[in-house]
Amino acid sequence: MSTYKIAVLPGDGIGTEVMAEAHRVLAVVQKKFGITLECTEARVGGIAIDVDGKALPQATIDLCKASDAILFGSVGGPKWETLPPNEQPERGALLPLRKIFGLFANLRPGICYPQLAHASPVRADLVAGGFDMLCVRELTGGLYFGQPKKTTEENGEPVAVDTMVYKKSEIERIAHVAFRAAQGRRKKLCSIDKANVLECSVLWRKTLIEIHAQYPDVALSHMYVDNAAMQLVRQPREFDVILAENMMGDIISDEMGAIAGSIGMLPSASLGSSKEGGLYFGLFEPGGGSAPDIAGKGIANPIAQILSAAMMLRFALGEKDAANAIERAVIAVIDSGLRTGDIWSEGCQRASTSEMGAAIAAAV
Ligand code: IPM
Ligand code: MG
């Protein structure tokens, strides 16, 4: 009987609603696979600003440090959008969590299930049969964290600067993650950069080519980010693993989420360095945000949160059978025709957040 400590941070908006469904599914998984998850909740984001005075309270950091993994909901909402940028839920909680725990590798699967291809805004013949790609995004470097980062005044005029900076070692470690991911899939890696303009990208591409020598079974290609944005909508089925630095990966992964149909379906994992046994400490969260427009209505799609829990079981806890069971259950429920509003189509049965969660729990 394996026991794990999980820091559960539901956050704001739909976070608490979809997290409740993840718990429902995890309860079944624990019984079925003989594992115990000791889940402890802590506040993060807007709710923490309201109660504790800041988006990432020390108690929350301490809980995460004492845990095997972080299961994260979502943060943010209109209520906190007028605060100084550094204090807002996103910048005040999510970015520090990534930095504190060294979560440099962000895995964002972009799966368009054939049964849900109609939900994709891309022309039907281009997504027929669905697709399955994985965006590997560098998460603790580049423009997000580079120094200097400030707004000053020059000749009476405000001047803002952000700095894109990458050390070779930072590129190497994320490259290894991407190559290994490709080895476990269709063995195609497309590295995205802007090597025709940016110094960081020149080093990025050079480093990728060097590391490629260790992964001869993977086909490596390079694509400028603007072209990649275009090819993603023109031929999404051509992509397997996509690798990008922080900012480019942020943009490309949203595009990937959109063409996959619904962001409410997409989980993500933010991982640190691998530990013994090939496991990772990580933060697992849905790809979408707190969706304040639909929060509290019980209509949000809980699948992204449930699949994030599956990624947690796989990457942080090494419970592959349990992870597979959840992923299979999600597909079975989709096959049965049950749909939340974001993926609904004619002839399907409409489900609320909790009906969807209950159906997936039952299918496990
Ligand atoms: C994401 C989000 C965050 C990011 C924001 C909320 C800071 O867009 O996880 O993709 O830019 O990384
Ligand atoms: Mg983003």
pLDDT digits (tens, 9 = 90+) for 66-113: 999 999 999 999 999 999 999 999 999 999 999 999 999 999 999 999
pLDDT value at 288 more than 90: no
Instruction: Indicate which residue of 52, 132, 162, 254 is catalytic.
Output: 254
Ligand 1 atom 10 nearest Cα: 250
- Helix (H/G/I), strand (E/B), else coil: 273: strand
pLDDT tens-digit profile of 290-335? Answer: 999 999 999 999 999 999 999 999 999 999 999 999 999 999 999 9
Instruction: Indicate which residue of 144, 166, 215, 280 is catalytic.
Output: 144
Q: What would the DSSP string read from start to end of 88-155?
A: SHIIIIIHHHHHHTT--EEEEEEEE-GGGGGGSSS-HHHHTT-EEEEEEEE-SSGGGT-S--EEEEET
8 Å CB contact between 257 and 110: yes
Domains with residue ranges and CATH for the chain: 1-104+265-364 (3.40.718.10), 121-259 (3.40.718.10)
pLDDT value at 8 more than 90: yes
**How large is the average pLDDT for residues 192-203?**
98
| DSSP at 259 | H
Query: For residue 282, how far is its CA from the centre of ligand 1 (angstroms)?
Result: 16
Atom of ligand 1 nearest to the CA of 95: 7
Cβ 250 under 6 angstroms from ligand 1? yes
Query: For residue 136, how far is its CA from the centre of ligand 2 (angstroms)?
Result: 13
Closest CA to 305 of 16, 22, 10, 101: 22
Share of the chain above pLDDT 90, in %: 96
8 Å CB contact between 187 and 174: no
Query: For residue 250, how far is its CA from the centre of ligand 1 (angstroms)?
Result: 7
Closest CA to 150 of 85, 103, 211: 85
Cβ 94 under 6 angstroms from ligand 1? yes
pTM for the full predicted model:
0.96
